[in-house]
């Protein structure tokens, strides 16, 4: 496992989406109600459950990123401007190779 923290202040929306497409991340963000939320998530359909639901996936704005929550096994979204921390825990290449 790598556990590499990402500089979220300089990362663009597209860079965050690309990162989530290629890795599993632990993120922390402030929810709309002001509470803090931690989530382990990805945008890579490496699980069968996610592939089935991928047809319903809709990432419709440049402020909000919709990701697959690995703990809840469902789609969740967060606003990029409310993201407080993002740590890459596993690259998808590690998952594919069984590392």
Number of structural domains, the chain? 1
Q: Tell me whether residue 34 is in a domain.
A: yes
Task: Tell me which residue range forms the domain holding 58.
Answer: 4-94
Domain annotation covers residue 99: no
pLDDT at residue 95 is higher than 80: no
Whether residue 32 is contained in a domain is answered as yes
Residue 24 lies in a domain: yes
Residues 6 or more apart whose CB falls under 8 angstroms from that of 41 comprise: 20, 24, 25, 27, 67, 68, 69, 70, 76
Give per-residue pLDDT as tens, 35-75.
999 999 998 877 666 655 555 555 656 778 889 999 998 88
- Reply yes or no on whether the pLDDT at 14 is more than 90: no
Q: Per the domain annotation, does 16 fall within a domain?
A: yes
Residue 14 lies in a domain: yes
Give the pLDDT mean for 20-39.
Answer: 94
Question: Which CATH number covers residue 64?
Answer: 2.30.30.520
| Element at 8 (helix H, strand E) | none
SS3 per residue for 20-89: HHCEEEEEEEECCCCCEEEEEEECCCCCHHHHHHHHHCCCCCCCEEEEEECCCCEEEEEEHHHEEEEEEE
List C-alpha distances in Å: 95 to 33, 56, 61, 62.
Answer: 34, 24, 29, 28
């Amino acid at each position: 496992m790598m556990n590499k923290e990402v500089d979220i202040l300089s990362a663009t929306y597209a860079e965050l989406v690309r990162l989530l497409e290629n890795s599993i991340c632990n993120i922390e963000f402030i929810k709309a109600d002001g509470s803090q939320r931690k989530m382990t998530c990805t945008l890579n359909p490496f699980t069968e459950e996610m592939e089935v639901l991928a047809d319903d996936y809709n990432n419709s704005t440049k402020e909000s990123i919709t990701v697959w929550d690995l703990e809840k096994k469902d789609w969740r979204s967060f606003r990029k401007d409310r993201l407080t921390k993002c740590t890459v825990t596993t690259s998808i290449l590690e998952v594919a190779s069984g590392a």
